[in-house]
Amino acid sequence: MISITPAAARQVRESARQGQMEGLPLRIAAKRNPDGTLHYAMGFDDKELEHDNRFTSEGIEIVVADTSMPLLQGTVIDYVELEPGKFEFIFLNPNDPNYQPSEATD
C-alpha cells in the first residue's frame, strides 16, 4: 500500500485545482537507476490501465502500475518545507537505499 500525509493531500488537491485536474487520480511511478537509487514521477492521469493498482489515502485516489508496485510498496508521500519557503513532495520509501526512517513526519 502507498499512503499520503494530510499535508501532501492538501497540496495535491491544490495542484489539481490550479491545473483544472480535479477528480483525476494521482499516478505514482518509480524506476531503479543504475546506481540503485530510485527515480520517482507523479502526475494526474485520466488513463485506466488493466494492471493498475488503486489506493485511496487522505481522500486522494492513487494509481500505480504493476511494474512500479514492488518499488513503491510501503511508501509514504509527504509535502515538507526543505528550506525556508521551499516546499517539496518527498517519498519516504523503505525500498529506497537512501531511505532513513527518522525522516518520517506526521
Domain that holds residue 86: 3-97
Is 104 within the bounds of a domain?
A: no
- In 1-106, where do the E strands start and end? 3-4, 26-32, 38-44, 52-57, 60-65, 76-83, 86-92
Please tell me the predicted confidence (pLDDT) of residue 43.
95
Is 23 within the bounds of a domain?
A: yes
Is 106 within the bounds of a domain?
A: no
| DSSP β-bridge partners for residue 27 | 43, 63
How confident is the model over 37-71, as pLDDT tens digits? 899 999 999 888 888 999 999 999 999 999 999 99
Residue 102 predicted with pLDDT over 80? no
Q: What is the CATH number of the domain that holds 81?
A: 2.60.300.12
Is 103 within the bounds of a domain?
A: no
Is 78 within the bounds of a domain?
A: yes
The conformation of residue 11, written as its DSSP 8-state character, comes to H
Please tell me the predicted confidence (pLDDT) of residue 104.
47
Q: How many domains does the chain have?
A: 1
Please tell me the predicted confidence (pLDDT) of residue 106.
45
Is pLDDT larger for residue 12 or for residue 51? 12
How confident is the model over 63-98, as pLDDT tens digits? 999 999 999 999 999 999 999 999 999 999 998 888
Amino acid of residue 100: Q
Is 105 within the bounds of a domain?
A: no
Q: pTM of this prediction?
A: 0.86
Is 44 within the bounds of a domain?
A: yes
Is 102 within the bounds of a domain?
A: no
